[in-house]
Amino acid sequence: MKKIGLIGGISWISTMEYYRLINHHIRSKLGENNSAEMVIISLNQKVIDQFAKADKEEEIFKILETSLHNLKIAGANFGLLCANGVHRFYDRLIKTCDFPLLHIVDVTAAAIQKSNFKKVGLLGIKKTMEGSFYRDRLLSHGIQCIVPDTSDRNIIDEIIFSELTKGIFTKASKDIYLQIIRKLVTQGSQGIILGCTEIPLLITQKDIEIPLFSTTEIHCLAAVDKALE
């Protein structure tokens, strides 16, 4: 079994879910008391958030770069960034760090392709919904991405940071998200990417009829497959 490296803490709420899901799937595949070999570097979300709000992208990159080097030193064989938004640094990281990373968009695109979908909606933090890094990566896999309008993007982002990353999950926020998802469906979305690793803790497939793609679940499953290659 390969050792999995996780860079999390942004937020620790979803990083905890990564740990649970990876171990769940390892045990499902191997049985008995098998669990994953993992190294976890947990970052201070407050620091990352402050740098992001101040547009100090270089400072965030340096933190991630150092974390990847530390994963390698700790003996991890490959790594996962346990947040969709920080994948905007992926291309720079793999150029400067001699350490393999499992890209969350690539594995999510592979899951979408199995459904033969060509157009999907995307929910996430504003940097994910508004940045080109996510949309362009999906497009390279032949998948068009639709995002909510400006007002809805602001609402989604606010709920993520004020509630979901703090472990607060309310029916009111769930209803707002479901309403926004239905708007994306009217615009032609065949499925919806839950492109923030906390959103699947608020919304699950049983809440709505349109197919949902939980990036957290997909990323974890891909990590387990790679660990067991």
Q: What is the DSSP string of 61-102?
A: HHHHHHHHHHHHHTT-SEEEESSSGGGGGHHHHHHH--S-B-
Six-digit token string for 201: 């803790």
- What is the tens place of the pLDDT at every residue in 143-156? 999 999 999 999 99
Q: Is 32 exposed, middle or buried (0-12, 13-18, 19+ CB in 10 A)?
A: exposed
Give the CATH number of the domain where residue 144 resides: 3.40.50.1860
* Residue numbers in the chain where pLDDT is lower than 70: none
Q: Are residues 175 and 162 in the same domain?
A: yes
pLDDT digits (tens, 9 = 90+) for 143-190: 999 999 999 999 999 999 999 999 999 999 999 999 999 999 999 999
- State the pTM of this model: 0.96
130 is in which domain, residue-wise? 104-214
Q: How many domains does the chain have?
A: 2
Q: Do residues 141 and 197 share a domain?
A: yes
Q: Is residue 123 a contact partner of residue 192, using CB atoms and an 8 Å limit?
A: yes
Paired tokens of 205: 């497939």
- Clarify whether residues 59 and 144 are in a common domain: no
CA–CA–CA angle 225, 227, 229 (5° rounding): 65
Whole-number pLDDT of residue 109: 98
Same domain, 18 and 99: yes
